[in-house]
């Protein structure tokens, strides 16, 4: 289940000690990714000898998206922020109005945002054989966009489509956004005005707050005192065409208002984003796939995540229990990180574990460059030796 951890996070533990600078962090991460499997690693018949990558919101900050707990994160700057929970969304029509109104305003910027240098670095690490699988907590779809050939598991789903909670039919978000515009002309005009004035263009939360806006990581924008109760949303077209049977066997009904919006007299046809909301359970098949990705790897690298949700933290716990070296590249503290490095040798140079607190988009591309230089060094040495021998 996706449940946020609300307790205080510890200050970051830097491992090894010289990883406290960008140069030191790059060197330690280079050793971590290029090291052979640990001799203490639990045996696995499916092991691929590669690193499994777990990413969080911090990797997408450079793309203009907010994170949760960074220096400019939602929880850091907005102490009253509370995400919507699954049972609230599924049972409360007014809560859905508020959610879809905020999502309607935030979708435009999320839709036009692009993967950043860190995502492209992940692609290169996959192409060069260092990373075997990616597990991401993010719902922005940047990983599959940046590296479609590198296996990626979207642990918490994705915002690019919706799913009906009654018939499980999927609907592209772009199509849904167009329906929201049609049903809410005043809101559409407000969004057009914000886009025209550049109110949504700034990536800095202070500038958005000055304009009366609050941006959040899951692609929504809060406008304080906005008339959310006036917002309307469409019904699932599949349920509308063929109302499904309910869990008790009775026939559902889907009704629309005069303009074609979902009516609260309906008993089906409710669409939700294809994400795992807070308080919602992750599908068993997804949990199993994540565990398999852990079990077949030789080490784990966490990037841009404080592991504040149990669904992510338990994966690192599983990796640690298999004696896998753990690497963490994240600005600020990480839940339970002291336990990841409690038994790391004092003379560790990063090969058996690394923890650094640096900006992902600045560090990861340099790590790729370092690894490329390491890989080319033997080839250059062999070429030089061949040239020397040919002289005789």
Q: What is the mean pLDDT of the segment spanning 152-181?
A: 97
Return the active site residues: 156
**How far, in Å, CA of 216 to CA of 5, rounded?**
17
Give the position of tokens 């979708």.
Answer: 107
Q: What is the pLDDT of residue 183?
A: 98
pLDDT at 214 over 60: no
* Distances in whole angstroms, Cα of residue 261 to Cα of each of 2, 42, 266: 30, 55, 11
Q: What is the pLDDT of residue 82?
A: 72
Q: What is the pLDDT of residue 36?
A: 93
pTM of the model: 0.89
The H or E element containing residue 388 is: helix 360-390
Q: What is the pLDDT of residue 345?
A: 94
**How far, in Å, CA of 320 to CA of 41, rounded?**
9
Confidence bin at 44 (pLDDT 50/70/90): confident
pLDDT in tens, 290-299: 999 999 999 9
263: three-class secondary structure by DSSP: coil
> Which of the two residues, 83 and 181, has the higher pLDDT score?
181
Q: What is the mean pLDDT of the segment spanning 208-236?
A: 72
- Neighbouring CB atoms inside 10 A of 216's CB total 22
| CA nearest neighbour of 360 among 339, 318, 332, 340 | 332
Bridging pattern class, strands 299-303 and 51-55: parallel
| CA nearest neighbour of 220 among 146, 111, 336 | 111
| CA nearest neighbour of 57 among 35, 30, 83 | 83
Confidence bin at 76 (pLDDT 50/70/90): very low
Q: What is the pLDDT of residue 74?
A: 47
């Amino acid at each position: 289940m996706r449940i946020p951890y609300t307790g205080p996070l510890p200050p970051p533990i830097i491992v090894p000690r010289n990883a406290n600078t960008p140069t030191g962090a790059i060197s330690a991460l280079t050793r971590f990714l290029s090291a052979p499997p640990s001799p203490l690693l639990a045996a696995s018949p499916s092991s691929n000898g590669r690193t499994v990558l777990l990413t969080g919101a911090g990797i997408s900050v450079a793309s203009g998206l907010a994170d949760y707990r960074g220096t400019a994160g939602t929880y850091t700057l907005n102490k009253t922020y509370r995400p919507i929970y699954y049972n609230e969304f599924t049972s409360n029509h007014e809560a859905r109005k508020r959610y879809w109104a905020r999502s309607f305003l935030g979708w435009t910027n999320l839709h036009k945002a692009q993967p950043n240098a860190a995502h492209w670095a992940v692609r290169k690490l996959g192409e060069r054989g260092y990373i075997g699988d990616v597990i991401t907590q993010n719902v922005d779809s940047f990983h599959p966009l940046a590296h479609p050939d590198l296996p990626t598991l979207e642990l918490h789903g994705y915002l690019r489509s919706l799913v009906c909670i009654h018939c499980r039919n999927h609907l592209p978000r772009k199509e849904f956004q167009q329906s929201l515009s049609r049903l809410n002309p005043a809101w559409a005009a407000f969004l057009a005005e914000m886009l025209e004035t550049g109110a949504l263009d700034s990536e800095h939360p202070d500038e958005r707050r000055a304009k009366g806006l609050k941006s959040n990581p899951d692609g929504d924008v809060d406008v304080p005192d906005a008339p959310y109760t006036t917002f309307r949303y469409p019904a699932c077209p599949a349920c509308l065409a063929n109302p499904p049977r309910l869990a008790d066997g009775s026939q559902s009904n889907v009704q629309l208002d005069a303009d074609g919006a979902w009516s609260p007299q309906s008993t089906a046809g409710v669409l939700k984003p294809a994400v795992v909301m807070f308080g919602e359970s992750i599908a068993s098949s997804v949990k199993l796939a994540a565990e398999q990705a852990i079990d077949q790897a030789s080490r784990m690298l966490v990037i841009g995540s404080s592991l504040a949700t149990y669904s992510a933290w338990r994966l690192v716990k599983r990796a640690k229990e298999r004696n896998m070296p753990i690497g963490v590249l994240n600005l600020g503290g990480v839940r339970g990180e002291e336990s990841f490095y409690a038994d790391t040798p004092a003379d560790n140079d990063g090969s058996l574990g690394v923890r650094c607190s640096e900006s992902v988009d600045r560090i990861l591309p340099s790590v790729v460059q370092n690894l490329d230089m390491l890989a080319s060094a033997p080839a250059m040495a062999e070429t030089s030796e061949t040239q020397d021998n040919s002289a005789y």
